[in-house]
Amino acid sequence: MAIMIMERLATKVAMEANAAMSRSRSVIVVSRVLLCFYFVLILFESQ
């Protein structure tokens, strides 16, 4: 009984961690794209 509850809890925690990881990864990708865009804008403005 307790093992079943522990397994279910572990699965839920793993799913939550996975969702958090993918969310943070997408945030990192978006911030990198914005940084590149900003850098290109600065280069064009300076010319």
The upper half-sphere exposure of residue 25, i.e. CA atoms within 13 Å in the direction of its Cβ, equals 6
Query: Residues, the chain, total?
Result: 47
- Write down the domain spans for the chain: 1-47
Q: Residue 3's pLDDT band (boundaries 50, 70, 90)?
A: confident
Instruction: Report whether pLDDT(1) > 80.
Output: no
Which residue, chain included where needed, has tokens 């978006």? 30
Closest CA to 36 of 22, 7, 44: 44
Give tens-digit pLDDT for 33-42. Answer: 999 999 999 9
* CA gap 47, 37 in Å, rounded: 16
Give tens-digit pLDDT for 8-47. Answer: 999 999 999 888 888 888 898 999 999 999 999 999 998 8
> What pLDDT does 35 receive?
94
Rounded CA Rg of the chain = 20
The number of angstroms, rounded, from the C-alpha of 6 to the middle of its chain's C-alpha atoms is 27
